[in-house]
Amino acid sequence: MSTGREIRSYDYVNRPYASVRDALRANALAIFQSATKAAASRAQSVAAELHVDFGGIGVKTDIHISVKEIQEEAGDANSTPSVRLLLEWEAASMPGLFPLMNGTLSAYPLTATETQLDFFGVYEPPFGAVGKTMNAIVGYRIAEVSVHRFVSDVAGYLRQGLA
Q: Which of 120, 95, 96 is nearest to 107 (CA)?
A: 120
Where exactly are the structural domains of the chain? 5-161
Helical (H) or strand (E) element with 121: strand 115-124
At 108-159, the pLDDT tens digits run 999 999 999 999 999 877 656 555 555 555 556 667 877 888 899 899 999 9
Given the candidates 3.40.80.10, 3.30.70.1230, 3.30.530.20, 3.60.40.10, the CATH classification of the domain at 5-161 is 3.30.530.20
At 4-14, the pLDDT tens digits run 788 999 999 99
